[in-house]
Structure formats: structure tokens, C-alpha cells
């Protein structure tokens, strides 16, 4: 059970870090020039895809651990 609690804490920290980065990118996006905005759109999408992939991997590990 302790391993699962540690995994849950790691997921929560990962999500908080991801949220902070996305918030920062959105703020910069709002303040940026059009060319910067296009690059930031790409960065935000890449980050979201990476986070989604990582969370799916973690979810599979947790369900594998619970089974």
C-alpha cells in the first residue's frame, strides 16, 4: 500500500508541475507577439501530449500494481 501511496504522490507532483508550466506558457502566450504565440501553441500542445502519454503509462502501472 505504501508503494501505491508514493506513486499517487508522484503523480500529484507531476500534475502540479505540468500545470505550472502550462500556466506560464499561457501567460507568455498572452503577452507575446503573433510569431511567439504560434511557437508557444506548439510547445503547449507538445507538453500536453507528453503529459497525456506519461499519465497513461502511470495509470497502466498503477492498475497493474493493484491487480
Higher pLDDT, 56 or 65: 56
Cell of 7: 506513486
Q: Work out how many domains the chain is built from and give that number.
A: 1
User: What is the rounded CA–CA span in Å between residue 40 and residue 60?
Assistant: 30
Could you read off the pLDDT of 13-45 as tens digits, one per residue? 777 777 888 788 788 888 888 888 888 888 888
- Examine the pLDDT at 53 and tell me if it is beyond 60: yes
Using an 8 Å Cβ cutoff, are 1 and 12 in contact? no
- Examine the pLDDT at 66 and tell me if it is beyond 80: no
pLDDT range class, residue 62, cuts 50, 70, 90: confident
Q: Is the pTM of this model over 0.85?
A: no
Give the list of residues 6+ apart from residue 18 with CB closer than 8 angstroms, or none: 47, 51
* Full domain range(s) for residue 31: 2-19+26-66
Torsion of CA 41, 44, 48, 54, to 10 degrees: 140
Amino acid at each position: 500500500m505504501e508503494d501505491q501511496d508514493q506513486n499517487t504522490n508522484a503523480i500529484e507532483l507531476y500534475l502540479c508541475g505540468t500545470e505550472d508550466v502550462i500556466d506560464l506558457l499561457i501567460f507568455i502566450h498572452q503577452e507575446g507577439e503573433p510569431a511567439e504565440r504560434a511557437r508557444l501553441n506548439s510547445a503547449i500542445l507538445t507538453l500536453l501530449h507528453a503529459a497525456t502519454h506519461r499519465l497513461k503509462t502511470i495509470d497502466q502501472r498503477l492498475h497493474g500494481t493493484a491487480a
